Amino acid sequence: MAASTDAPHVALDYSKDRQHELEENIKGVEQDVQRAFQSITSRGSRTPPRLVAVSKLKPASDIQALYDLGYRHFGENYIQELVDKAQALPKDICWHFIGNLQSNKAKTVVSGVGEALWVIETLASEKTAGLLEKAVAARLGDNADPNAKLPLQKKLKVYIQVNTSQEDVKSGVDPLPAGSAASPDASNQELIKLATFILSSCPHLHLLGLMTIGSFSASHDPSKPNPDFELLSTTRNELFTYLISHVSPELGESIKDSLPHAAEEWELSMGMSADFEIAIKQGSAGVRVGTRIFGERPKKVKAGDNAAATK
């Protein structure tokens, strides 16, 4: 049985030593985030990147310790772990789901995490988008009017995951290299189809931008621009160029209201412990950092897991 949201909040004990350690770690990451952002000469009025603390496979007490210091954005990879943590921890945490989302788990994540679900970062199929749309509408109790104009804060934010490195072990839709928007088969691209579907048929979802993990390749020097991050940025621009030039009549007028004024308004979520500084320099609006804050993770061993994914 799901815990009642009215249940008194369970205190999650942590030691002062552990809190101090986590604080030092996250402050160090914040400094590096700041420094990378300040080094961008063309940053203009851009807001500094959001730091998401990736707490997967770490105890809820670690999250509570950081919460008590004022941190709110946390990222989780496994649905059941996220639902359990969300039910035990304060309701004003902003949860980021960053793991593989199978369509049959769309309803569970929406109803289990509730309004504290801040964003799904890994949307990669129309089927899952449609099920998320239905689940959010049902939670709000307004499936009656699918065209209702919802205030932005009631919508569920999503990033579309792009598999920039084209590795089989990673999920995500194919990227759009430079020139894709003008190509005759652009309308068959998964990303264009999925974005069009979200913008035109999912009034309860808000497309926040694109997300990538990037290559695991250890041979890449993390101080040099990362080709995966470059490709995510290009993909965003191609997607925008395509949609803005096909707004009407093909895609319908309604899509126009959902499009940003400029491609840059769509965020890029990219950068992890090993490469968040270069990701910021390449335009990341949100970095997802686990190991550098919480330390090494225990290995997740699960039947059916692809061994190649853990190297």
Ligand X SMILES: *Cc1c(COP(=O)(O)O)cnc(C)c1O
Given the rule CB under 6 A, which residues bind ligand X?
54, 56, 77, 98, 213, 272-274, 288-291
Q: Please identify, using beta-carbon distances, which residue of 98 and 243 lies nearer to ligand X.
A: 98
How near is the Cβ of 286 to ligand X at its closest, in Å?
Answer: 10
Name residue 79's beta-bridge partners: none
Question: What dihedral angle (degrees, nearest 10) is formed by the CA atoms of 293, 299, 305, 311?
Answer: 80
Q: Please identify, using beta-carbon distances, which residue of 89 and 272 lies nearer to ligand X.
A: 272
How near is the Cβ of 310 to ligand X at its closest, in Å?
Answer: 11
Q: Which residue is nearest to ligand X (CB)?
A: 290
How near is the Cβ of 182 to ligand X at its closest, in Å?
Answer: 31
Q: Please identify, using beta-carbon distances, which residue of 77 and 235 lies nearer to ligand X.
A: 77
Q: Which residues contact 184 (CB under 8 A, 6 or more apart)?
A: none
User: In 280-306, which positions are buried (b, 16+ CB within 10 angstroms) versus exposed (e)?
Assistant: bbbbbbbbbbbebbbeeeeeeeeeeee
How near is the Cβ of 293 to ligand X at its closest, in Å?
Answer: 8
Let me know if 201 is exposed, middle or buried by CB neighbors in 10 A (0-12, 13-18, 19+).
middle
Cβ pair 208, 266 in contact under 8 A: yes
Q: Please identify, using beta-carbon distances, which residue of 51 and 137 lies nearer to ligand X.
A: 51
Cβ pair 15, 258 in contact under 8 A: no
How near is the Cβ of 25 to ligand X at its closest, in Å?
Answer: 11
How near is the Cβ of 178 to ligand X at its closest, in Å?
Answer: 25
How near is the Cβ of 118 to ligand X at its closest, in Å?
Answer: 15
Q: Please identify, using beta-carbon distances, which residue of 240 and 276 lies nearer to ligand X.
A: 276
Q: Please identify, using beta-carbon distances, which residue of 194 and 289 lies nearer to ligand X.
A: 289
Q: Please identify, using beta-carbon distances, which residue of 75 and 283 lies nearer to ligand X.
A: 75
Cβ pair 65, 89 in contact under 8 A: no
How near is the Cβ of 201 to ligand X at its closest, in Å?
Answer: 26
Compute the distance between CA of residue 180 and CA of residue 192 in angstroms, rounded to an integer: 10
Tell me the HSE value of 304 on the side-chain side, using a 13 A CA sphere.
0
Q: Please identify, using beta-carbon distances, which residue of 203 and 271 lies nearer to ligand X.
A: 271
